[in-house]
Amino acid sequence: MKILITGGAGFIGSNIVDRYIAEGHEVAIVDNLATGRRSNLNPAASFYEVSITDAEAVRDVFERERPEVVSHHAAQMDVRRSVAEPQYDAEANIIGSINVLEAAHATGVRKLIFSSSGGAIYGDTRQMPTPESAPLQPISHYGTSKLAGEIYIQLYGRLYGLDWTILRYANVYGPRQNPHGEAGVTAIFGIMMLRGQRPTIFGAGDKTRDYVFVGDVVEANLRALTRGDREIINIGTGVQTSDREVYDAVAAAAGYDEEPILGPERVGDVRHSCIDASHARDVLGWEPTVEFREGVRRAVEHQREREIG
């Protein structure tokens, strides 16, 4: 089928592009390369260097490509930047999503797959692993803008019959994660350790996250092409991993033996996040397959080859 992916030069999006093409689909990419990399682009895909905040340019691409399915991964992903620059965050994540939805509606797109947040959108919650039915109480502008995107997508489904699947990701990690432009502690720790620099843990190292390998996320996106219509689905492992455990796993993979610097906790950070992905098993037939330390090993080896050379 014909698929258009926003953010297709980024970490998650480019991995999805590769899989869709490998499965025989025709793919077009929209990405402004703000955090995405030209080197991530699959040469078999059409590429448009366009920002989703440019409504007219987005509409032009949709009219030219006429995709059947849209995978919307372009976003402002940095929680700290969202708190410091809320207008920028809203422009990218809310207005940008509306531009994509308007173009999809105007050109007869059948379905939209949306990458949402399985951590920031729930906020600090006592219910862990957290199911999709839990209260939504984000504590950052990023989480709020992602929630707004979900609401708009469901609205377009009700108004215009657009099918959709919302995938709420846990903390995605793996090869191609950008330690400079995207929120990704494994990538940040990895590149610093490989360069002999001491990473900083913000807080005491006891904050926890649910880490899901990018290859498993790609598999969920493949299944969502034909399943999960009008469903909100968590994509995670249900396992809590602390900041200190992440540090130790990356250090083991990088061959690094220094202790971390401990810094103050940051505004907008959820203290504990872990999502229940049993609905993904029921609806998509999906389960995570890559264990955390193995995924970290693959990610660090990729960094060693690509970043360090």
The mean pLDDT of 115-120, rounded to a whole number, is 94
Give, rounded to a whole angstrom, the gap between the first and last alpha carbons of the chain: 37
Same domain, 147 and 87: yes
Same domain, 7 and 146: yes
pLDDT computed for residue 271 by the predictor: 87
Instruction: Dig out the tokens for 160 from the structure.
Output: 């215009």
Question: Would you say residue 284 lies in a domain?
Answer: no
pLDDT computed for residue 263 by the predictor: 94
Same domain, 249 and 128: no
Give Cα separations from 243 to 137, 205, 217 (angstroms): 23, 5, 21
Question: Would you say residue 125 lies in a domain?
Answer: yes
Same domain, 70 and 197: no
How many domains are contained in the chain?
Answer: 2
Residue 246 identity (one-letter amino acid): V
Which residues fall within 8 angstroms of residue 297, CB to CB, at 6 or more apart? Answer: 253
CATH number at residue 54: 3.40.50.720
Residue-wise pLDDT tens digits, 122-132: 998 889 999 99
Contact yes or no for 8/115 (Cβ under 8 A)? no
Same domain, 119 and 198: no
Question: Would you say residue 8 lies in a domain?
Answer: yes
Question: Residue 119's pLDDT band (boundaries 50, 70, 90)?
Answer: confident
Instruction: Dig out the tokens for 57 from the structure.
Output: 């340019």
Query: Three-state SS for 81?
Result: helix
Same domain, 94 and 223: yes
Same domain, 105 and 185: no
Same domain, 167 and 192: no
Mean pLDDT taken over the chain: 95
Same domain, 61 and 164: yes
Specify the pairing of strand 2-6 against strand 163-169.
Answer: unpaired
Residue-wise pLDDT tens digits, 141-158: 999 999 999 999 999 999
Instruction: Dig out the tokens for 135 from the structure.
Output: 């209260």
Nearest-angstrom CA–CA distance, 275 and 168: 9
Is the sign of the CA dihedral 128, 131, 132, 135 positive or negative?
A: negative
pLDDT computed for residue 80 by the predictor: 83
160 catalytic per annotation: no
Question: Would you say residue 55 lies in a domain?
Answer: yes
Question: Residue 308's pLDDT band (boundaries 50, 70, 90)?
Answer: low
Task: Spot the catalytic one: 20, 142, 169, 173.
Answer: 142
Question: Would you say residue 281 lies in a domain?
Answer: no
Question: Residue 283's pLDDT band (boundaries 50, 70, 90)?
Answer: very high
CATH number at residue 262: 3.90.25.10
Percentage above 90 pLDDT, the chain? 91
Beta bridge partners of 242: 208
Residue with tokens 């993979």: 253
Residue-wise pLDDT tens digits, 223-271: 999 999 999 999 999 999 999 999 999 999 999 999 999 999 887 777 8
Question: Residue 78's pLDDT band (boundaries 50, 70, 90)?
Answer: confident
Question: Residue 178's pLDDT band (boundaries 50, 70, 90)?
Answer: confident
Q: How many CA atoms lie within 13 Å of 78's alpha carbon, on the beta-carbon side?
A: 14
Residue-wise pLDDT tens digits, 180-236: 755 689 999 999 999 999 999 999 999 999 999 999 999 999 999 999 999 999 999
Residue 151's domain comprises 2-172+212-235
Residue 274, pLDDT above cutoff 70: yes
Same domain, 158 and 247: no
Percentage above 70 pLDDT, the chain? 98
Same domain, 95 and 48: yes
pLDDT computed for residue 39 by the predictor: 96
Nearest-angstrom CA–CA distance, 278 and 231: 13
Same domain, 18 and 149: yes
Give, for 22, the enclosing helix (H) or strand (E). helix 11-22
